[in-house]
Structures are given as structure tokens and as C-alpha cells.
Amino acid sequence: EGVGPQEYTAIKMKVLNWGEASKNATSSPNWAVSADADVYLVAATLRPETMYGQTNCYVGVNIKYGAYEATNGQIYITTERAAKNMAFQGNSKIPDQISYLGSILGSELIGTKVRAPNSSYDSVYVLPMDNVLPTKGTGVVTSVPSDSPADFVALRDLQRKPDFFKIQSSWVEGFVPIDIIKSEQYGLQTAAFLVESLKIQSQKDVNQIEQAKDLGYKDAFFNSTMNIGKYKGMAVQDAKPLIRDDMIAAGDAFAYAE
């Protein structure tokens, strides 16, 4: 981790259908279940160029999230910590004031269907991941199993044992990793390659996942090209800021630092 602030891209994942868990939850306020308001789960990423490969969204089941109304009228679901950071960042793309509407637990977000901007899948589901930290980013992680070893392993765990994780198999079936980035060394599925070569069994292998993450991040930045989208063929390093700017201009993302 560097010393300076980490520059994330906040990805806006629009709620299309609330899952059953949100409807039955006692702590879930009315905004979540009845409002026609624009509600977004906001995920923090360091890899905006990988959004073509989103297959799902992860939350921590025990993490408490809040719903915050931004000055643009949209409702953002993030941790309280991230909402405060957003409110203090004087960037015109970031609402300078947000108001708290209510809370929702991660477990109550599972099974909700969201739109993942730029993804090849029209809609994706909110699913549980063990290693989501409440103290990093927004506490919401968008999943790109082609290029993130952590995301790959968590999705594979869910696909292998849906009952154990208390999810419906239809939320993970058919969501296959997409060939979005071409690495000279690892091919078109960097995460699968690294998970296989480091013999990572499950989400519990946190040290190996960390190692795979470092290898993958460096390789993508220095030795890989885009294999999809407007910047296909361009080095990842060059495409990254362009895709980020495009997503911000489209209203699908905003800058977020911490």
C-alpha cells in the first residue's frame, strides 16, 4: 500500500429488483422496498477498465450499510465511512452534501439484482464474500472473476456450494468470466491462471489470494492489452484513465479517494 491517498473509481450499480431478503428485513427502511427512487450500490475499484467483465457484486453479510441521498437526488448505498468521505471531496462530480435515510445490513442486500455499467451481462446479483473489509472503499466490491483472483475464488465457492452460502444457484449459474484483457504471460483469464498455479482452494486461502492479487495487478498494468470494448488492442495502462473518464461522463461512476 502506498503512502498517499488511494484513487478509486466509484461504480454506480443501479438497483433493478430488490431481493426477498431486503423485503423481509426489519431494519430495512421504506426507501429500500417501496420507493421508485434511483438507488445505487456504490462499489470502489482500482480497475475501472475491467468493468466489462463484471459478473456480480459482493457485500459483507455482517457489514452495516447506509442509504444516503446525494444532491443529485440519487440514493447511494455505502458504508457510513465512505459516505462521509464522499461528502467531503470537493469534486463537482461528487455530491457535496449527502443525507442519511436509513440502514441496511449486507445480508439483507443478498439476491438483489443490479445493473453493472459496461458489463456484458444485463443484470447481476448481489452476493456474499467473506473477505470484504468494512474499512476499505465503500464496503461494496464489484466482481470481475476474469481478472481478480479474490473475485474468482469467491464466485467459484458460491457456485460449488450455493446452499452452504444460502444463495440461489440461479444467482451464479451462467455467469462465466469474460475475456476482457489479454496478458502476454497469463492469457485471457489471468485470475484463473494465478489461482490454479498458486493452488488456491477457497476464500480462506487469504495469503495466496493476496500474492495472486499483486502478481495480477502488476501484470495487467505493464504487460496486458484490452481485449474488448472501445479501446480493444490498447495497453491497459493507457486505456484505464480513458475508460474511467468515459464512465464518469456517462454518469456511471465518480472519483473517490481515501
> Exactly one of 46, 176, 249, 250 binds ligand A2H (CB under 6 A); which one?
46
- Residue 47 binding ligand A2H, by CB under 6 A: yes
> Exactly one of 10, 12, 39, 50 binds ligand A2H (CB under 6 A); which one?
50
Q: Which of residues 188-207 bind ligand A2H (CB under 6 A)?
A: none
- Residue 81 binding ligand A2H, by CB under 6 A: no
Q: Which of residues 124-163 bind ligand A2H (CB under 6 A)?
A: 131-133, 136-137, 139, 141-144, 147-148, 151
Of the pair 165, 256, the CB lying nearest ligand A2H is at 256
Of 38-46, 102-110, 162-170, 227-235, the segment contacting ligand A2H by CB under 6 A is 38-46
Compute the least distance from the CB of residue 78 to ligand A2H, in Å. 10
Of the pair 66, 139, the CB lying nearest ligand A2H is at 139
Stretch 210-229: interaction string toward ligand A2H, x if CB under 6 A: ---x---x------------
- Residue 209 binding ligand A2H, by CB under 6 A: no
The three-state secondary structure class of 30 is helix
Residues binding ligand A2H (CB under 6 A): 6, 44-47, 50, 131-133, 136-137, 139, 141-144, 147-148, 151, 213, 217
